[in-house]
Structure 1
Amino acid sequence: MKDVEGVELAIFIAVFAVVTVVGFAAARWRRGQTLMHLDEWGLGGRGFGTFVTWFLLGGDLYTAYTFVAVPSAVFAGGAMGFWAVPYGAIAYPIVFLVGPRLWSVAHRHGYVTAADFVRGRFGSKSLGLAVALTGILAMMPYIALQLVGIQAVLTVMGVTGSGWAKDLPLFIAFGLLAAYTYTSGLRAPALISFVKDALIYLVIIVAVVYIPTRLGGWDSIFGTAETALARPNPATGKPAGSLFTNDMTHWAYGTLALGSSLALFIYPHTVTGALAAGRRDVIRRNAALLPAYSLLLGLLALLGYMALAHPGTVAAVKAAGNPQLAVPELFEQVFPSWFAGLAFAAIGVGALVPAAIMSIAASNLFTRNVYAAFLRPDATPEEETRVSQLVSLLVKLGALVFVLGFDKSLAINLQLLGGIWVVQTFPAIAIGLFTRWPHRWALLAGWAAGMAYGTMTAYGTSSPTQRHFGSPLDDIPFVGHTGYIALTAFALNMVVVVAVTLLLRAVRAPEGQDETNPDDYLADADPAPAAPDDPGRSLTGRPV
């Protein structure tokens, strides 16, 4: 390590120390009789209210990758990077319709994962396994990207070198994350999300007010950004981007927004955050309140234009050859050291919260839908929890190996591929919450068709730095425009589901047993019984 920014690193470490203490202390926060049950360890006791759930889902959905990647996309291509803003406006009405029904049926039957619901709804362990494995597969590169966010700010702070000297801080961050997640379960990221959101809101508000004063105002920022984006890209010979989408990018912009909105709520980590809520109405309230984060995301995207308008940031990013460093470099060069350290800490904590929830979600999927469903059907709740704790460690370790052993651009594009995969579970999960008309085998066939088409098509895309998995976009068949592969694969998925369902119903193929009832989808939490010595508290010690 050399030329380390001491003040920045000291503040970064101090905030991490506070977060670590909070993470371990969370084991006693709102604790039930025991943590050795997936309802407690993996879902925080299923008792979070509107306030806690808002912070938890915000910390879950708006990650360090978002903090780094959205502005870097604007930095590299202009208006196309803003597709992440409208997709929230599309997604939350879907959450409003789908989320309460999933919460209700999961509460009534004790489902811990969406794959639990699919298995029970359609009477198919195979379909539940497909949904579970898809979720686990999609989580791995997503968790890795949270560690990439930490690595980016460490690099800008001067934590460089080779071998162990370079990676030791990342190992330490991984070790702390693994330790308090293992100990406290979902309560740790829920409590830390308060710190994370407060830091991020503070940094973004200060950035959009202070940085323009250093760059000559918004008129100068947009003018400089427009000039920079109009320059031809050496790799393609075409302009890098523009301040507005055009006829060539409208379809890409729209399909990215729509396809991502379908994936948002069925990502395993999002489902985990939603099922931790204490009541059905908590999901509805949060679907109405969470668009406030879209406002934050819009402000965040503007940092990409600010980075383009700052010559020192542009030079540093070009020298590093990594647009993902645009925001950290901008903060490094514009803010005083103490506030830059706080901003880097916000990005770092913004990585820890979603990484913890994602690892818990992935481990719950393995435990309930692989281990308990196929290997140990008679596993006790304590055994399930122990397995989930161990698998959460393995998931984080796999993500760390991914970060250290593979090219970062591959990680980013595999995360985009994760979105393509997750959307293929939408028919079984979201549509299944309203109707059993799709046949279980048809859903499995549609899933397989969408997964195969999406994976092969994404594999065939290239970029100036990658021969394969170079882009989430490709030509849409029969349309003549470029769009998000996830949406095209989803359309194929649905065509197969409908066609095969009609065929199977015609031959009266067995449909499987539905273990749910219509009133399960409207159920709410029953009032907890009062403890004999305290009429205002439940038997678990929580307020009634």
Structure 2
Amino acid sequence: MTTAVFLGFIVFSLYLAIRSKKGHGAQSVHDFFVASRQFGAYLVFFLAAGEIYSIGTMVGFPGGIYAKGPTYGVWFLGYILLAYPLGYFLGPKIWQAGARYNAITLPDLFKGHYGSRALELIVAGSSILFLLPWGQLQFTGLVAALKGLGWEFDPVYLVLISAALAFTYIAISGVRASAYIAILKDILMVVAIVATGVAVGWKAGVGDVFHAASLQVSNQMNDTQLRFSMSTMLFQALGFYVMPFAVQNFFTARSANTIRRTQVAMPLYMLMYPFLVLASYYAISQNLQLASPNEAFFAAAVRLLPDWLLGLVTAGAALSGLLVLAGICLAIGPIVTRNLLPGMPEQRQKQGAKVVIVVYLVLSIAMTLATPNLMLTLINTTYYGVTQFFPGVIVILFSLKVRPMAIALGILSGQGLAIALYAQQADFGGINLGLVSLAVNLLVTVVANYAPRLARVQPA
């Protein structure tokens, strides 16, 4: 029954993808990747929510609490809530900049504003590099979700099935398929999370679960943990809306006001997190021996839900991962065909992007199988690199005049330092390594921008 329900929803998602293509015929590059900037508030809302509340919500958040304790999940909630006000003010400006430069990708914005080929290449190349862990994150979650079905397949088959589904969605109608499927995914995800949390409370008791879990994990934060949570919230909130796929989602909107309307309603999704906490605490309180912390949520679901509802839960989780995977692919494909290979004619960019997407999926699969990681580690790794774009994006949005070489040096300095500090396991008293690197990024940018001017000033 579990597998039948799961497959039923997957088949229905394919129908929605096909339905999304109706009336659009042969899609242009702009229609395939950014829906010709025609999406209204509802579709933009579900598309954005599909990227934000992904399989990391259902797998990474409970897994982090299970592995590190409840205090480790504070940043997960905090950085999203802190990001929403930024999105309300910056999202419309990103849309306006996209319209001004006829942009499809994040590197298109840098190319249009700075007019620097070198900076365009730096942003394009590092976008692809730091989105590899994000793809790995989706595959890691998908393996955990599909195992919830009781399938005893080797993980390599599970990730291949996931990659094939994600590519199918993309091939049918690009971002339009993602938007239509996102509606189904959000409904299933919310029902799945609430149903699991309610089942924990009904069968095990909320008070009993919290008491039992508190005997095994601490609810107190020491100074180092507090500094880590606060600095990580700030750092990742700054990077939240400069993710290449998040920027591209803004480009699909019909107007700047459309984005404002979606950002106002987005925090409502946070109401489902108490149910996730319950599921996490249940896994801790029951001393469940899990192969990976990423399985914490599904361990609770498998124990407490009937088969048909477990099929729904797994479908919601799988679609959450598949949609984000599709979104990443839709961002990386045109980055290669438009920014790394700028001479490619538009009529060939869509087909070329599909080839790039296949290569990206293969690389992500290889990373998933070779180096499995806790999902929270993968989230941090991507933000180390992507958030370094933030100063350059702010310059674009407010039409400031900054030398492109200064922005390029700042990005490279920040990303290089973040990787080096992470490799050496450097400790700044709990301060997020990425935030330290971002500060260096800003310093290098300011010095590189003003030093040549100061050097030209002759003493009297």
1:248-287 aligned within 5 A: 248-287=224-263
Paired residue secondary structure (1:277):
coil
For 2:359, the equivalent position in structure 1 comes to 394
Following the alignment from structure 1 to structure 2, what is the Cα–Cα distance between the partners of residues 433 and 246?
A: 39
For 2:210, the equivalent position in structure 1 comes to 222
Percent identical pairs in the alignment equals 25
For 1:500, the equivalent position in structure 2 comes to 448
1:109 positional shift: 2.5
Give the letter aligned to residue 212 of structure 1. G
1:33-112 aligned within 5 A: 34-35=26-27, 37-76=28-67, 77-112=69-104
Paired residue secondary structure (2:373):
helix
1:235-314 aligned within 5 A: 242-309=218-285, 311=286, 314=287
Maintained 8 Å contact 1:316/1:329: no
In the TM superposition, what whole-angstrom CA distance separates every residue of 1:84-137 from its partner, at most 9, and x where no partner exists? 111122111111221111111211331111211111111211112111112111
Following the alignment from structure 1 to structure 2, what is the Cα–Cα distance between the partners of residues 154 and 459?
A: 32
Maintained 8 Å contact 2:137/2:378: no
Following the alignment from structure 1 to structure 2, what is the Cα–Cα distance between the partners of residues 369 and 298?
A: 42
Structure 2 residue 7 is matched with structure 1 residue 13? yes
Following the alignment from structure 1 to structure 2, what is the Cα–Cα distance between the partners of residues 167 and 452?
A: 32
For 1:475, the equivalent position in structure 2 comes to 427
1:137-176 aligned within 5 A: 137-162=129-154, 167-176=156-165
Give the letter aligned to residue 62 of structure 1. Y
Q: Against the structure 1 CA distance between its residues 297 and 429, is the aligned structure 2 distance closer, same or farther, given a 3 Å change threshold?
A: farther
Give the letter aligned to residue 183 of structure 2. F
Maintained 8 Å contact 2:293/2:374: no
Which of the residues 354, 364, 370 maps onto 2:324?
Answer: 354
Deviates more, 1:262-271 or 1:391-400: 391-400
Give the letter aligned to residue 254 of structure 2. G
Following the alignment from structure 1 to structure 2, what is the Cα–Cα distance between the partners of residues 132 and 83?
A: 29
Following the alignment from structure 1 to structure 2, what is the Cα–Cα distance between the partners of residues 414 and 505?
A: 41
In the TM superposition, what whole-angstrom CA distance separates every residue of 1:155-206 from its partner, at most 9, and x where no partner exists? 23332255xxx53343233223212312311111111001100001111222
Which of the residues 172, 176, 185 maps onto 1:196?
Answer: 185
Paired residue secondary structure (2:235):
helix
Maintained 8 Å contact 1:57/1:273: yes
Paired residue secondary structure (2:341):
helix
1:244 positional shift: 3.4
Structure 2 residue 412 is matched with structure 1 residue 448? yes
- Which structure has the bigger radius of gyration? 1
Following the alignment from structure 1 to structure 2, what is the Cα–Cα distance between the partners of residues 264 and 454?
A: 17
Which of the residues 299, 302, 305 maps onto 1:332?
Answer: 302
Maintained 8 Å contact 1:262/1:426: yes
Maintained 8 Å contact 1:70/1:82: no
Paired residue secondary structure (1:424):
helix
Count, aligned residues: 456
Q: Unpaired segments of 5 or more residues in structure 1?
A: 1-6, 230-241, 462-473, 510-544
Q: Against the structure 1 CA distance between its residues 207 and 414, is the aligned structure 2 distance closer, same or farther, given a 3 Å change threshold?
A: closer
Maintained 8 Å contact 1:72/1:327: yes
Q: Against the structure 1 CA distance between its residues 505 and 182, is the aligned structure 2 distance closer, same or farther, given a 3 Å change threshold?
A: farther
Which of the residues 303, 312, 315 maps onto 2:288?
Answer: 315
1:306 positional shift: 2.5
Maintained 8 Å contact 2:60/2:375: no
Following the alignment from structure 1 to structure 2, what is the Cα–Cα distance between the partners of residues 294 and 452?
A: 34
Following the alignment from structure 2 to structure 1, what is the Cα–Cα distance between the partners of residues 112 and 104?
A: 12
Following the alignment from structure 1 to structure 2, what is the Cα–Cα distance between the partners of residues 352 and 208?
A: 23
Following the alignment from structure 1 to structure 2, what is the Cα–Cα distance between the partners of residues 293 and 259?
A: 22
Maintained 8 Å contact 2:200/2:279: no
Following the alignment from structure 1 to structure 2, what is the Cα–Cα distance between the partners of residues 42 and 298?
A: 35
Q: Against the structure 1 CA distance between its residues 448 and 123, is the aligned structure 2 distance closer, same or farther, given a 3 Å change threshold?
A: same
Following the alignment from structure 2 to structure 1, what is the Cα–Cα distance between the partners of residues 354 and 58?
A: 28
In the TM superposition, what whole-angstrom CA distance separates every residue of 1:287-339 from its partner, at most 9, and x where no partner exists? 21111223334543443123222x2xx3331xx2x111111111001111111
More helix by share: 2
Deviates more, 1:89-98 or 1:47-56: 89-98
Following the alignment from structure 1 to structure 2, what is the Cα–Cα distance between the partners of residues 67 and 382?
A: 39
1:508 positional shift: 6.1
Structure 2 residue 427 is matched with structure 1 residue 427? no
Maintained 8 Å contact 1:71/1:302: no
Following the alignment from structure 1 to structure 2, what is the Cα–Cα distance between the partners of residues 214 and 430?
A: 50
Paired residue secondary structure (2:431):
strand
Following the alignment from structure 2 to structure 1, what is the Cα–Cα distance between the partners of residues 266 and 375?
A: 27
1:496-535 aligned within 5 A: 496-507=444-455
* TM-score when normalising by structure 1: 0.80
Paired residue secondary structure (1:102):
helix
Deviates more, 1:108-117 or 1:148-157: 148-157
For 2:371, the equivalent position in structure 1 comes to 407
Structure 2 residue 314 is matched with structure 1 residue 344? yes
Paired residue secondary structure (1:85):
helix
Following the alignment from structure 1 to structure 2, what is the Cα–Cα distance between the partners of residues 169 and 413?
A: 22
Paired residue secondary structure (1:110):
coil
1:68 positional shift: 0.1
Maintained 8 Å contact 2:165/2:322: no
Following the alignment from structure 2 to structure 1, what is the Cα–Cα distance between the partners of residues 192 and 180?
A: 20
Maintained 8 Å contact 2:78/2:233: yes
1:502 positional shift: 1.3
In the TM superposition, what whole-angstrom CA distance separates every residue of 1:487-516 from its partner, at most 9, and x where no partner exists? 11101100111111110233469xxxxxxx
Q: RMSD in angstroms over aligned alpha carbons?
A: 1.9
* TM-score when normalising by structure 2: 0.94
Give the letter aligned to residue 138 of structure 1. F
Q: Against the structure 1 CA distance between its residues 251 and 200, is the aligned structure 2 distance closer, same or farther, given a 3 Å change threshold?
A: same
In the TM superposition, what whole-angstrom CA distance separates every residue of 1:228-271 from its partner, at most 9, and x where no partner exists? 11xxxxxxxxxxxx223232311001011111101110001111
